[in-house]
Each structure stands twice: as C-alpha cells, then as structure tokens.
C-alpha cells in the first residue's frame, strides 16, 4: 500500500499536470474562418503534416505532464507499506485495543530514536476520534494494565496516558496483556457485529514474543503488528548478571557479559564493591556469553552492595550496561552432626562424615587459620535446640529413634530453610523419615517412601546404576563418572517405593535393586537430602570419590538454603530472610538513592521465618533490609537479561503461526524508512529524464 | 444597343480598343455563313490556294481547263472557302469559382466575376467579327446552354445569362461537358473557362478529348486567383470548402510549403493534360486585368 508523507503535493501536482493542457487550450489561436477553393490541397498537406505533428504534440505533452507529476510525487514522498489490516478508512462500529510494549528493550535506540518514541507516534495515530470507534490502551510491562476498564471514546485521556508512558526496566508479560485485550474484544452478545481490532506495537523481541498466544482473542479479530525495530538488530553489549561467591581467598565475582554485536569486543567492566573498584577486562566473542572473573581478597563477611558498569561502551541499550548486585560473604559454615555413635577414632560412619565435612579443619587450626567449616556433634537423646538451630546444615547419621521433640524441631528448621542431610543406614531411619514427613505437614514431598529392608534380606554389594550425570553431585566427575561408580559398592540402607505425588527428578541416583540411593527434595524454604547407605559397610568412604561427592551434595543443600540475592524489576518478589535476621518487627527496607524505602514491599513473619514480599520489584538497584544500622539481608533488583537480546521475530512468524489463522498484517518501521528515503530520489531522476527526453524530442522532430 | 438590356459586365468603352481585333482559330472550322475564317470546305468560290492532280470521281467543275489544254495534265484548282465561326463559351459554375468574392452575396473579386467580364468581352469581340457565339454554363450537368448565334439580340441574351450565372457547390463538371458535346452538332471553337478544381478532372479532360476528336478547336483558360497560389499569413485558420467539402483547421505556416507544392503540381497537371489532349492552354490570373488578358489572348490567336 502506498501512502504519502505530503499528500497535499499530489493535489498540487495533479492541478499542475493539467496546466500544460489548459494553457494550450487557453492560449491556442482562435482560427480565422476562411473560405478556400483549394481545400483539397490544404487537407492533403495537413494530412501529411498531421501525423508527425500529432506524434510530436503527444510526446511533448506526455513528457511535460509526466515531469510535473513526477515532481509532485517526489515532493509528496510516497511510502510503500504493507497493506494494513486496520485502517480508519474502514467505517462502522469498531472496538480497538492498542497493545503497547513498554518493556526494557523498547528503550533501545536506533538512529538516535528510542523504540518507545516511535511506538508512541504510531499508537497516537490509532487513538484518534472516529465515529463509532471505541478504543483502549494496554501498556504491556511485567504487569500489564489498561488505561480504562474497557473500550472508551475518551481519546484525549488515552493519548495523555500514551504521552506519559516510558520504557520500564522489566520484561513484558505479553500473554497477560493479550488476555486483557481478549476480554475487551470479546463480543457482548451474539448480535454484537462490531469490528474488532488489535494493534500490537512492539519491537517483537524474540525472547519475549516467541511464546505469545493469541488464541484467547475472538476469531474475527483483525490484528495489526506494528514493529518499531530496525531490520537488523542494533548492536548491544550488556551485563547479564553478577554472581558473588565465597572463595578461599575471600570472594569471587563472576560478571557475565552478553555481546549481541557482529564482532568480538574487548570489554572493560568497572566493578564497585563497597568503596573499592575493580576493573575486569576481556574479549567477548559475538553472539555469546562471556564470564569475567575477579578475586576479591580480604573481604569481611557481610552484605556488600555493588555495581558493575561497562566502561567505554556506547550501544543501543545503555540501561543494561549497569548491573547492581549483592555480594554476601558468609562466615565459615557450621555443621551439626546428630548421631548416637561415640566420637573416637574407630572407622564409623559418623567419623567418615565428620572428616569429609571438614577435611582441613585440624590442619588449619594447627596453622592458626579459621576459614574451614566447623562440625559439632550432637546426641539426639540430649538435644539442645539452640545448638541445632545455630548450624548451617544438620547431618543425621545413625540417630536411632528420634524423639517427638527432635522430629518437631527438625521439621520446623527444615521449613524455615535449614537443610538436612540424612544418612539412612538403619531400619529405624525409615520410621524417622516417615515421622519427619508427617511433621512437615505435607510441605515435604518425598519422591519415594523409604521402607525397612525385608527381614533376612541383607542389602549389600549394591551398585549405582542410574544417576543424573548432568546434575550435582555426579556432575563433578565428568567423564570419569562411570569408572568412579564401578568401584563403589554400597551396603545397608533402606528399601524404597515410588510415591505417586513425588517428582522423579528428585531421585539423583538409584541402586541396581531399584531402590533410591540419593534423594534431594525441598520443603518450604529448606531442603532434605537422603543418602541411603551405611557408610561404614560401604566402600564409598574408602575411595577418592567420597569427599567430592559429599561436598557437592552439601553445597547443593546450602545453595538451596541460601536466600537468593537477585530479583527482577517489575516481577513479584518473595524472599525468605535468613534466620539471623530475626522477626520482622524492627526490620525495615532501604532502597537505592531516589527510592522511598517504605514503598518497597512488606516484611512479614511466617511459619518458616521472616519473609520480604513485594508485589512488583522496583527500579534496578540494591535494596537492603536492616535492623538498626546493621544490614541483615540485601537484594539486587536487575533488568531481565532477555531484554538485552534485541533480535526480533520475523513478520512471517507473527502473521502466520502466532496469529493462528486470524486476519493479521505486519508493518515495519525499518522498511518504511528505507523506502521513503529512496523513492523520492528516483522520482526526481525520472523527472530530469523526462525534461531531457522533451528536449531530445524537440530536436528530433525539428530535424 | 438598348441600355436597359446591357450587361453590367459589358464595358464598351474599355472594349473599344479591342473591337478591331478578331478571334481567330488555328484550325479550319465549319460555318453556316460566309465569314472570315478558313472553312474546312475547299470550294471553288473562295481564294485560290493550290493545284492538285485530278483523281477520279472529283467534281469536274474544279478542273483547270486552261492548264489541261496547255499541258495536257488534269489539274484541279483548290480554293479556300471562308466561313463564320461558331464559338461556344463554356463557363465553369462550380462553387470554387466564387473564391475571392467580397462576401457571401457579393461576388466582386471572385474568379467567377472575372470570368463573367472575360466571357462578356469575348462574346462582344466575337460577335463584332460576325461570328456566332454560344454559351454553356457547366456544372455537374449542363446548367444553361445557348446555341451559337450572331444576332444582336442573341448576344444580348447571352450576356444576360452570363451576368446571371450563379455557382453551385458541386465539385464535378464532366457531366455538363458531355451533355454539351451531345448538343453541339457542328465543329467550332470551345473556350472552357474554369479553375479545374474538381473531383472529376480526368473525366473532364476525357470529355474535352471528345471535342478535339470531332475537330473542335478547344481552348482551355485556366483561371487562377492569386490567393490560391499561397495561403494567407496568420497563425490559425479554419479553411472552409466551397463545394461542401468540409473544413480544415490548421496553421498555414506549417503547411504552406506542402500546399504550394501541391498547388503547383495541380497547375502543371492541368496544363499537361490539356496539351496532351490537343487543347490550347492558357493560364489566366485574376490579378491581371481581363482586358489585358483578352488582348493578349487575341493577339496570340491572331499569330
């Protein structure tokens, strides 16, 4: 379809094109009547001349008129567009919903113009008054909302809201926005024959739009896709995330860089932690993620807000060049080992566990260091709840029959986020696990139910035959996994049978008799791992695989226990505060500069501990939870990393598969710009050609 | 002469200078009465012309007995007889002859007026030579015809008819000529005054050839108006035909050359066809006084 930037020029052009004819008509000589006897000779002479003269006149008039029309066309600036599915030229009663993407990617710039600016201009054209038209505007962010509760004729208010909208540092919940539009576009009754139009204005970012579902829309909805993205995705470099973890020297920062350009870029990242700034450099290949790592020495334990910033990068989306993060440096972990086995140097299961959990504790203590974990033996019979609660991980090995108080305590700690590692060796452990599950009140969904082995049936020479190779704790063995497992023989432990409500993925490994070997499952904020074997009777502690296997399993448990320190802007935030944060009373939140800390969600007490709830996380930055002046928890709110990937869906996918058979059309701003810039030049060139042709024709006919 | 009956085209004072001149023919003619023109009959009462040997069957009254007696040879004396001339003035009355007229009702300045003057003067001069004058007004058919005569009243009536000639928008003349040919029994002279702007030009000359074949002395007077030889100056004209042949709008400047070429070709063609048919051809321009034209014509005829 052709539209014109200056349509008035066409009317002037048409008027001007008639001028040669009119001037000829007006100025043609009025013939003098003259009776002539020799008319036959005049007629013959005229007949001879007329063929040439008419040809000459026609050619000259055509070229002259064409030149005028071409000039008018060049001034009118024609723009070739795809045919629109929605047009104000189609009259009648119409419901129109304009769905405007306000996700972070709409802040990307192409030609010094942000996508959202183009989108606002396009949307404004659809929100103009026309008789019979009712419209509404949906701003599709993480939580889409409509300006009105339904289609309205208050176009003034719609345009005001449109003028105020900005790109938000969040992703777009497109399906929710489509559901909202579908509700308004749904026919009010069987006799509702109004035309239904949905205008979707976005950059149609692949990561956001690939799973959009238009099926909730009425079948007769006309969909018009208006793309603000250029034909080629603009070059963009982004910090996708920053991960901090404790290391032997202090802390380690992993900065993940995404390079969405066509060439390898040398990237420098300034990372600020507290008052210190570190510069990370490295080469990032195109289209890939690159992780830059930095060791931070002598970093005391605590919550450290930080910020990573790309240095010297000017790209399409500047907002993702900065990434706030929280570095939580923890003190050395404490393990509570609940066992009835006495401490000693006998080769008992608990001794193997103690040595494996803190392999270098004795050596470091001898050297005066204090970085290794600490293991505290606790007798389940004389249980001190405060000691148990102070541990980062509770390990149960040969605990015997647990008392009711112990079971309740363990269940409560489990719900509040304390991880448990249960080494099930004796038949009584099946009972303990069953009671623990019951005490958890259904929050503990075990994949299997452990049962005592049948009487007279000794479990020995068991071999691990089915393990999850790509997941911890077996992932660490890599290609040596098979040879490692071949040398392991297990004995003792419990039988197991599958539970209908369980998740098979929670069974990390199985023995050759089909019973579960290692189980890892969650319970509210906590996690429970069951190692189903008698370590003293198994060969595992005597092999090199024992320590890494147990360490990986413990790390997995602790990671689940550790509260996440990263949230996404605009998304709901629910964070379990660490146990040391205490009750919610006396806690408050502090936001980044410019953000009111009192409007950063709620801190509430729940059964598992204090919880920070926020319906929609605010703008990117570091938010801290403090008691007094002490920070007890911190959370970094980031832009979703998929917003940094600016490649768009192709029009065919949108109008074909996505539209699901509905009438749909696509229009891209990029094509429009390119064609608009080119066409007028060709018209001017053609006009010059016409003038030259006219001169040539005059010369030819004269000779 | 009765002044009341005199034609307005007859100017006796102007013609007084031409009255002594006679219209002569270059061929022998057949006449009714004695006259000044050599007769086709070689009788015995006329002027001696020649001797010729006697051939059997000849009139013995023409035998020159004296020569026969003196020489013994039978010689016949040839005497030329003189007779009067029967001259028919054929005037083209087609629409194109009105060209040059001052107005729709006023034929002043037209070719027809010129021909009317010329024909009237010729009739006067011929009648003064004791010759007979006839008149044929030609159109698609023979519009008017007056047989040859030499009486005063005949000439007056003839001149009255000439005065009253009106044109007809017909582009054909051959039919009239053929009709004239059928009415004329005796040989004589035919003076055809026309502009030869007609559609049946070939047929016209075919009809003239019939006259020539019968022994008529045919004189073709091709009347040309000077404004016909070139188109008028100006940017745009709508030329209207005078014989119901439509109209043409054009700029004379664009077609003047081609027009001149075609008109010259037409003149040449008429001349060629006339001479080829044994006719005497004279181009008569209306720019020249009819008296001058008539004088020149008579002098040329007199040899």
Burial of A143 by CB count in 10 Å (0-12 exposed, 13-18 middle, 19+ buried)? middle
Mean pLDDT confidence for B131-138: 91
Q: Which residues 178-237 on chain A approach chain B with CB closer than 8 angstroms?
A: none
Burial of A703 by CB count in 10 Å (0-12 exposed, 13-18 middle, 19+ buried)? exposed
Say what percent of chain A tops pLDDT 90. 23
How confident is the model at residue A593, as a pLDDT?
78
Nearest to A300 by CA among A269, A267, A327, A262: A327
User: Which of B248, B262, B268 to probe by mutation at the A interface, max A CB count within 10 Å?
Assistant: B248
Number of A–B residue contacts, CB under 8 Å: 88
CB count within 10 Å of CB B152 equals 12
Q: Which residues contact B152 (CB under 8 A, 6 or more apart)?
A: B1, B127
Interchain CB distance below 8 Å, A31 and B236: yes
- Residue A30 contacts B, CB cutoff 8 Å: yes
Q: At B5, is the pLDDT very low, low, confident or very high (cuts 50, 70, 90)? A: low
A37 interaction partners in chain B (CB closer than 8 Å)? 95-99, 111, 195, 197, 225, 228, 242-243
Q: Rounded to an integer, what distance in angstroms lies between the CA atom of residue A454 and that of residue A458?
A: 8
User: Which of A25, A28, A38 to probe by mutation at the B interface, max B CB count within 10 Å?
Assistant: A38
The lowest-confidence range among A136-145, B31-40, B52-61 is: B31-40
How near does any CA of chain A get to the CA of B129, in Å?
36
Interchain CB distance below 8 Å, A39 and B245: yes
Interchain CB distance below 8 Å, B239 and A29: no
- Residue A42 contacts B, CB cutoff 8 Å: yes
Interchain CB distance below 8 Å, B197 and A38: yes
Q: Rounded to an integer, what distance in angstroms lies between the CA atom of residue B30 and that of residue B82?
A: 9
| Integer angstrom CA distances of residue B235 from A25, A583, A594, B100 | 15, 110, 87, 21
B234 interaction partners in chain A (CB closer than 8 Å)? 32
B236 interaction partners in chain A (CB closer than 8 Å)? 28-32
Whether omega before A473 lies within 30 degrees of 0, making that bond cis, reads yes
Is there a contact between A601 and A618 (Cβ–Cβ < 8 Å)? no
The lowest-confidence range among A52-56, A566-570, B153-157 is: A52-56
Mean pLDDT confidence for A29-47: 86
Q: Which residues contact B140 (CB under 8 A, 6 or more apart)?
A: B168, B170, B172, B173, B175, B176
The lowest-confidence range among A157-171, A430-444, B13-27 is: B13-27
- Contact residues, chain B to chain A, C-beta under 8 Å: 95-99, 111, 195, 197, 225, 228, 231-232, 234-243, 245-251, 254-255, 258-259, 262-263, 266
Interchain CB distance below 8 Å, B262 and A33: no
Pairing mode, strands B280-285 and B217-224: parallel
Query: Which residues is A256 bridged to in the sheet?
Result: A241, A291
User: Which of A25, A45, A51, A53 to probe by mutation at the B interface, max B CB count within 10 Å?
Assistant: A45
B237 interaction partners in chain A (CB closer than 8 Å)? 31-34
User: pLDDT for A325-374, tens place per residue?
Assistant: 988 877 778 889 999 888 877 788 888 888 888 876 555 555 544 555 68
User: pLDDT for A669-685, tens place per residue?
Assistant: 755 555 555 778 888 99
Interchain CB distance below 8 Å, A42 and B240: no
Mean pLDDT confidence for A273-278: 84
Mean pLDDT confidence for A68-92: 74
Helix A669-702 crosses helix A39-76 at what angle (to 10 degrees)? 160
How confident is the model at residue A663, as a pLDDT?
83
How confident is the model at residue A87, as a pLDDT?
65
Nearest to A162 by CA among A182, A135, A186, A142: A135
A183 pLDDT higher than 50: yes
| Integer angstrom CA distances of residue A7 from A68, A222, A686, A690 | 15, 27, 20, 23
| Of A245 and B57, the one with more pLDDT | B57
Q: Rounded to an integer, what distance in angstroms lies between the CA atom of residue B161 and that of residue B88?
A: 14
| Of B17 and A24, the one with more pLDDT | B17
A454 pLDDT higher than 90: no
Task: Tell me which chain A residue has its CA closest to the CA of residue B264.
Answer: A41
- To the nearest whole number, what is the mean pLDDT of chain A? 85
Nearest to B165 by CA among B282, B4, B289, B9: B9
Interchain CB distance below 8 Å, A45 and B262: yes
Mean pLDDT confidence for A290-297: 86
Mean pLDDT confidence for A502-513: 87
Mean pLDDT confidence for B44-69: 80
How confident is the model at residue A120, as a pLDDT?
92
DSSP A122: H
How confident is the model at residue B22, as a pLDDT?
78
Of B237, B262, B266, the CB nearest to A31: B237
Greatest CA separation found in chain A?
148
- Residue A55 contacts B, CB cutoff 8 Å: no
φ, ψ dihedrals at A403, nearest 5° = -75, 165
Q: Rounded to an integer, what distance in angstroms lies between the CA atom of residue A410 and that of residue A408?
A: 5
Interchain CB distance below 8 Å, B237 and A34: yes
B39 pLDDT higher than 80: no
Interchain CB distance below 8 Å, B99 and A35: yes
How near does any CA of chain B get to the CA of A63, in Å?
23
- To the nearest whole number, what is the mean pLDDT of chain B? 86
Q: At B31, is the pLDDT very low, low, confident or very high (cuts 50, 70, 90)? A: low
B247 interaction partners in chain A (CB closer than 8 Å)? 39
Mean pLDDT confidence for A593-613: 79
The complex scores an ipTM of 0.82
Interchain CB distance below 8 Å, A32 and B249: no
Query: Which residues is A519 bridged to in the sheet?
Result: A507, A530
B112 interaction partners in chain A (CB closer than 8 Å)? none
User: pLDDT for B83-112, tens place per residue?
Assistant: 667 899 999 999 999 998 888 778 888 999
Rg of chain B on CA atoms, in Å: 23
Burial of B105 by CB count in 10 Å (0-12 exposed, 13-18 middle, 19+ buried)? exposed
| Of A530 and A347, the one with more pLDDT | A530
Q: Rounded to an integer, what distance in angstroms lies between the CA atom of residue B201 and that of residue B178?
A: 13
Q: Which residues contact A679 (CB under 8 A, 6 or more apart)?
A: A77, A78, A79, A80
Say what percent of chain B tops pLDDT 90. 45
Nearest to B221 by CA among B108, B116, B67, B77: B116
How confident is the model at residue B48, as a pLDDT?
72
CB count within 10 Å of CB A539 equals 15
How confident is the model at residue B2, as a pLDDT?
46
DSSP alpha helix (H) spans, A521-572: 546-561
Convert A579-610 to b/e letters by CB count within 10 Å (16 or more is b).
Answer: bebeebeebebbbbeebeeeebbebeebebbb
A651 pLDDT higher than 70: yes
């Amino acid at each position: 379809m052709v539209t014109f930037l200056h349509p008035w020029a066409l009317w002037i052009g048409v008027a001007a094109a008639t001028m040669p004819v009119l001037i000829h008509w007006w100025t043609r000589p009025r013939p003098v009547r003259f009776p002539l006897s020799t008319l036959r000779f005049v007629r013959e002479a005229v007949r001879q001349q007329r063929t040439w003269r008419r040809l000459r006149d026609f050619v000259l008039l055509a070229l002259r008129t064409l030149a005028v029309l071409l000039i008018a066309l060049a001034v009118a600036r024609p723009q070739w567009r795809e045919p629109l599915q929605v047009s104000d030229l189609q009259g009648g009663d119409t419901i129109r919903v304009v769905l405007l993407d306000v996700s972070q990617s709409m802040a990307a710039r192409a030609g010094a113009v942000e996508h959202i600016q183009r989108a606002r201009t396009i949307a404004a054209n659809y929100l103009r008054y026309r008789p019979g038209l009712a419209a509404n505007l949906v701003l599709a962010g993480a939580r889409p909302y409509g300006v009105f509760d339904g289609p309205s004729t208050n176009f003034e208010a719609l345009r005001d809201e449109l003028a105020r909208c900005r790109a938000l540092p969040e992703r777009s919940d497109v399906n929710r926005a489509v559901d909202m539009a579908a509700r308004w576009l749904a026919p009010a009754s069987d006799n509702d024959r109004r035309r239904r139009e949905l205008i979707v204005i976005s950059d149609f970012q692949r990561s956001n739009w690939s799973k959009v579902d238009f099926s909730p829309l009425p079948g007769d909805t006309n969909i018009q896709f208006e793309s603000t993205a250029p034909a080629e995705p603009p070059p963009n470099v982004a910090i996708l995330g920053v991960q901090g973890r404790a290391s032997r020297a202090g802390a380690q920062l992993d900065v993940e860089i995404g390079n969405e350009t066509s060439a390898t870029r040398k990237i420098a990242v300034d990372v600020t932690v507290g008052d210190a700034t570190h510069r990370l450099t490295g080469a990032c290949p195109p289209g890939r993620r690159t992780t830059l790592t930095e060791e931070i020495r002598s970093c005391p334990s605590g919550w450290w807000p930080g910020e990573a910033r790309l240095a010297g990068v000017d790209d399409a989306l500047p907002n993702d060049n900065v990434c706030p993060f929280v570095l939580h440096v923890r003190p050395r972990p404490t393990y509570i080992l609940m066992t009835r086995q006495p401490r000693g140097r006998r080769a008992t299961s608990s001794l193997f566990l103690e040595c494996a959990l803190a392999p270098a504790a004795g050596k470091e203590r001898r050297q005066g260091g204090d970085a290794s974990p600490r293991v505290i033996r606790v007798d389940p019979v004389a249980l001190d709840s405060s000691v148990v609660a102070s541990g980062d991980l509770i390990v149960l090995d040969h605990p015997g029959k647990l008392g009711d108080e112990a079971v309740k305590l363990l269940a409560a700690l489990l719900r509040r986020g304390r991880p448990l590692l249960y080494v099930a060796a004796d038949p009584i452990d099946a009972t303990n696990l069953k009671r623990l599950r019951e005490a958890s009140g259904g929050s503990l969904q075990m994949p299997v139910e452990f049962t005592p082995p049948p009487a007279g049936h000794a479990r020995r020479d068991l071999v691990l035959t089915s393990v999850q190779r790509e997941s911890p704790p077996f992932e660490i063995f890599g290609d040596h996994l098979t040879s490692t497992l071949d040398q392991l023989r297990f004995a003792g432990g419990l039988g197991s049978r599958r539970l209908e409500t369980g998740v098979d993925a929670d069974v990390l490994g199985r023995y050759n008799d089909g019973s579960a070997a290692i189980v890892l499952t969650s319970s509210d904020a906590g996690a429970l791992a069951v190692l189903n074997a008698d370590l003293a009777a198994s060969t595992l502690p005597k092999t090199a695989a024992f320590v890494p296997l147990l360490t990986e399993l413990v790390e997995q448990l602790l990671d689940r226990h550790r509260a996440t320190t990263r949230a996404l802007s605009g998304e709901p935030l629910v964070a379990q505060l660490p146990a040391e944060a205490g009750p919610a009373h006396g806690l408050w939140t502090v936001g980044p500069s410019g953000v009111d800390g009192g409007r950063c969600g709620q801190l509430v007490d729940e059964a598992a501990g204090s919880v920070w709830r926020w319906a929609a996380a605010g703008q990117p930055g570091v938010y801290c939870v403090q008691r007094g002046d002490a920070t007890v928890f911190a959370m970094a709110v980031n832009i979703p990393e998929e917003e940094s990937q600016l490649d768009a869906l192709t029009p065919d996918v949108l109008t074909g598969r996505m539209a699901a058979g509905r009438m749909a059309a696509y229009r891209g701003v990029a094509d429009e710009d390119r064609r608009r810039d080119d066409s007028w030049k060709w018209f001017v060139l053609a006009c010059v050609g016409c003038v030259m042709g006219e001169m040539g024709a005059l010369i030819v006919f004269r000779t | 002469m009765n002044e009341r009956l005199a034609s307005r085209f007859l100017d006796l004072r102007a013609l007084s200078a031409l009255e002594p001149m006679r219209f002569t023919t270059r061929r022998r003619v057949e006449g009714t009465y004695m006259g000044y023109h050599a007769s086709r009959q070689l009788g015995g009462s006329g002027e001696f012309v020649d001797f010729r040997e006697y051939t059997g069957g000849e009139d013995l009254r023409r035998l020159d007995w004296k020569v026969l007696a003196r020489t013994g040879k039978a010689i016949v004396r040839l005497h030329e007889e003189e007779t009067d001339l029967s001259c028919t003035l054929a005037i083209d009355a087609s629409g194109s002859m009105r060209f040059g007229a001052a107005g729709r009702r006023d034929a002043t300045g037209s070719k027809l007026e010129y021909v009317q003057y010329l024909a009237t003067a010729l009739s006067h001069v011929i009648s003064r030579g004791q010759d007979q004058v006839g008149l044929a007004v030609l159109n698609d058919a023979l519009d008017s015809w007056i047989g040859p005569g030499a009486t005063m009243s005949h000439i007056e009536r003839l001149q009255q008819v000439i005065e009253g000639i009106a044109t007809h928008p017909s582009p054909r003349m051959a039919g009239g000529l053929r009709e004239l040919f059928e009415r004329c029994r005796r040989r004589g002279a035919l003076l055809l005054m026309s502009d030869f702007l007609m559609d049946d030009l070939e047929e016209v000359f075919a009809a003239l050839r019939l006259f020539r074949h019968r022994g008529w002395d045919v004189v073709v007077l091709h009347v040309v108006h000077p404004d016909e030889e070139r188109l008028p100056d100006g940017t745009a004209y709508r030329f209207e035909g005078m014989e119901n042949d439509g109209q043409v709008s054009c700029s004379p400047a664009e077609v003047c050359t081609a027009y001149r070429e075609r008109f010259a070709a037409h003149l040449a063609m008429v001349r060629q066809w006339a001479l080829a048919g044994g006719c005497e051809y004279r181009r008569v321009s209306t720019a020249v006084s009819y008296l001058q034209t008539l004088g020149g014509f008579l002098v040329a005829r007199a040899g």
